[in-house]
């Protein structure tokens, strides 16, 4: 039995260089030679909050990071640095990895597999990040594949038909969207598609086939059809079909190379693929009208983009990554000269220098009493058939109130001086300062207790009215009565003696008013693009409970009631699994029976 190949981190510099040289030679003979590259990336990260890292002992810090780099996602910490502000702590993490990046056609997957096998003989754990697309201008695949009609104006629900009878018909333009009921993003795309078809179909004279292919293996066709009907998505001009019980592993999904959803395909009147991508990346109304007129502009543009894809395109996109400056990263023209800012590779050419600079940036932030989430160095070597290039950037991440802008600007200036180049600030977000929430003991409507400690009935405090002359807190009974207060306002539901307001997303017991229309679509009292994270039901009827602490967690009314009734936050124990959520969290309550007035 042959020995296992070494990991990238275990290789010597000479062996790493030999591997990159081998790849550059091998890729020359591949059909996707100008569209695929091997990327070796090293990430160093200083994370505030745990052990202390010393930048004064630069060599020891670097040694710690180097030892951490021996295994992906490993971490280490150095001894306390007495020059750090009292109580300031941080952890150094290092990670290195190899990845294949680029774009290939579905017809090139055999060559891709051969490349991956050849790499696997030489090095462990190469990530496959290649995007697989259909060859521009080809006919849609597996037109004889059987699909089940869910809703259609021209076929009976439950009928099995070949795909060619509902899509890419002769003389028709087709828009095919792959979706799943388990993805809120896909549900939102379908909802937008419904609205688009409802407005545009009358202009098409029946010459456009719009088909939504559902790749769900956890639902029966009748269940999907019922959901589509209840969401108001069964409309003229839009056909919903089911790909079969294999869902994402169905022949149809594999033939279209569907690896993520939603994914859209547009064909011209000759049945040729003119474009594929995500909804929102294309003006379907304009492009469909052009295709109906016989235009080949979209197809030619997509062909050019596909065949011209190269490492240079990725390098251009990454250029000035250290700047974090839209003007500096803009396309270079005579009126917009190339950015002359020093690059991170020039400012910090070695690992020990990068570690030292990150730690000093952390010190500067700590001295300014600003709590950043992380300080990150990323250095990449990109190998393609055209040669070897390098990219590097330094970035910081964090979330700060708008009231701290002056302090943040000052700290960024100090950290930029330390880094020796501009810093990518794309991961810094600012939020407006909100009024503190005061959960009154008495209901504003009936004067009875708003909530009782130990009860599973929450108090509802209006976020929109917090800090006003008339703050509102309602008991559960009054909240469900529309008369006492505008139900379109956002409320936060809290359980007395259990909910911790201080750890909400904006912290310190404050929360900004949120407009439900910004985060989901409401149709006839239903939140149609939101899925319950407790039971997976969609749509959510009347009220949507969105966790005020987590970035993306929603519950339906039934699951929220089960969660509130459990001291441990248990929602259910179906199928031997326990579904639970942190019992101390608060939930925003969005009503769907009236439009938002936010």
Query: For residue 253, what is the domain's CATH number?
Result: 3.40.30.10
Dist. CA 439–CA 460, nearest whole Å: 8
The pLDDT value given to residue 433 = 72
Give the chain's mean pLDDT.
82
Share of the chain above pLDDT 70, in %: 84
- pLDDT, tens digit (0-9, with 9 covering 90-100), for 254-297: 889 898 888 999 999 999 999 998 877 789 999 999 999 999 99
pTM of the model: 0.67
Of 249, 271, 293, the last residue of a domain is 271
What lies within 8 Å, CB to CB, of 496 at 6+ separation is 439, 450, 451, 452, 453, 454, 455, 459
Is residue 457 within 8 Å of residue 564, measured between CB atoms? yes
- pLDDT, tens digit (0-9, with 9 covering 90-100), for 98-142: 999 998 988 899 999 999 999 999 999 899 999 888 989 988 887
The pLDDT value given to residue 485 = 75
- pLDDT, tens digit (0-9, with 9 covering 90-100), for 427-483: 998 877 777 888 999 999 899 999 988 888 999 999 888 878 888 999 998 888 755
Of 253, 271, 289, the last residue of a domain is 271
Total structural domains in the chain?
2
2 lies in a domain?
A: no
265 lies in a domain?
A: yes
262 lies in a domain?
A: yes
Indicate the SS3 state at residue 490.
coil
CA distances to 275, 557, 574, 589 from 563, rounded to whole Å, are 45, 10, 14, 14
Dist. CA 460–CA 440, nearest whole Å: 10
The pLDDT value given to residue 481 = 76
512 lies in a domain?
A: yes
Of 239, 271, 303, the last residue of a domain is 271
- pLDDT, tens digit (0-9, with 9 covering 90-100), for 481-494: 755 577 678 899 99
92 lies in a domain?
A: no
Domain that residue 575 falls in: 459-591
The pLDDT value given to residue 121 = 95
22 lies in a domain?
A: no
Taking alpha carbons only, the member of 169, 179, 288 closest to residue 233 is: 179
The pLDDT value given to residue 70 = 29
Mark 259-294 as b/e (b = at least 16 C-beta within 10 Å).
eebbbbbbbbbbbbbbbbeebeebebeebbbbbbee
Tell me the two tokens of residue 51: 């052990």
Average pLDDT over residues 586-592: 88
584 lies in a domain?
A: yes
45 lies in a domain?
A: no
């Amino acid at each position: 039995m042959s020995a296992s190949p070494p990991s990238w981190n275990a290789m010597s510099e000479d062996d790493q260089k030999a591997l990159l040289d081998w790849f550059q030679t091998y890729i020359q003979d591949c059909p996707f030679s100008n569209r695929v590259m091997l990327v070796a990336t090293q990430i160093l990260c200083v994370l505030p909050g745990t052990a202390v890292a010393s930048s004064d002992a630069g060599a020891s810090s670097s040694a710690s990071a180097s030892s951490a780099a021996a295994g992906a996602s490993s971490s280490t910490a150095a001894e306390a640095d007495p020059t750090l502000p009292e109580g300031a702590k941080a952890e150094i993490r290092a990670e290195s990895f190899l990845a294949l990046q680029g774009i290939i056609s579905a017809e090139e997957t055999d060559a891709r597999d051969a490349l991956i096998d050849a790499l696997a003989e030489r090095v462990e754990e190469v990530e496959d990040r290649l995007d697989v697309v259909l060859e521009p201008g080809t006919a849609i695949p597996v037109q004889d594949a059987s699909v089940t009609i869910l809703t259609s104006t021209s076929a009976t629900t439950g009928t099995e038909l070949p795909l060619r009878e509902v899509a890419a018909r002769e003389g028709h333009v087709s828009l095919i969207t792959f979706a799943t009921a388990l993805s809120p993003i896909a549900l939102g795309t379908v909802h937008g598609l419904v609205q688009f078809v409802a407005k545009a179909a009358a202009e098409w004279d029946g010459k456009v086939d719009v088909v939504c292919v559902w790749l769900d293996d956890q639902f029966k066709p009748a269940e999907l059809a019922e959901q589509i009907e209840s969401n108001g998505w069964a409309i003229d001009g839009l056909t919903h079909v089911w790909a079969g019980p294999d869902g994402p592993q169905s022949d149809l999904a594999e033939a279209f190379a569907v690896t993520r959803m939603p994914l859209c395909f547009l064909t011209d009147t000759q049945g040729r693929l003119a474009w594929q991508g995500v909804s929102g990346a294309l003006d379907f109304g304009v492009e469909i009208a052009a295709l109906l007129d016989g235009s080949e502009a979209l197809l030619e543009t997509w062909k050019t983009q596909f065949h011209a894809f190269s490492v240079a395109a990725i390098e251009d996109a990454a250029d000035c990554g250290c700047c974090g400056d839209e003007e500096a990263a803009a396309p270079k023209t005579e009126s917009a000269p190339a950015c002359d800012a020093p690059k991170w590779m020039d400012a910090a050419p070695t690992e020990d220098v990068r570690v030292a600079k990150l730690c000093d940036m952390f010190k500067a932030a700590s001295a300014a009493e600003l709590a950043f989430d992380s300080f990150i160095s990323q250095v990449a070597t990109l190998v393609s058939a055209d040669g070897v290039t390098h990219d590097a950037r330094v970035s910081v991440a964090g979330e700060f109130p708008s009231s701290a802008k002056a302090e943040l600007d000052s700290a960024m200036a100090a950290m930029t001086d330390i880094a020796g180049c501009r810093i990518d600030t794309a991961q810094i977000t600012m939020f407006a300062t909100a009024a503190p929430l005061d959960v009154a003991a008495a209901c504003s409507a009936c004067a009875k207790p708003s909530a009782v400690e130990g009860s599973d009935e929450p108090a509802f405090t209006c976020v929109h009215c917090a800090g006003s002359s008339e703050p509102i807190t309602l008991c559960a009974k009054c909240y469900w009565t529309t008369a006492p207060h505008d139900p379109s306002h956002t409320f936060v539901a809290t359980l007395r003696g259990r909910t911790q307001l201080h750890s909400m997303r904006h912290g310190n017991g404050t929360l900004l008013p949120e407009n439900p229309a910004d985060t989901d679509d409401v149709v006839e009292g239903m939140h149609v693009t939101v899925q319950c994270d407790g039971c997976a039901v969609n749509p959510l009827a009347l009220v949507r409970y969105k966790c005020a602490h987590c970035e993306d967690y929603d519950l339906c009314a039934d699951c929220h009631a089960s969660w509130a009734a459990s001291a441990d936050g248990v929602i259910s124990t179906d199928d031997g699994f326990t579904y639970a959520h942190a019992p101390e969290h608060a939930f925003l309550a969005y009503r769907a029976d009236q439009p938002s007035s936010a």
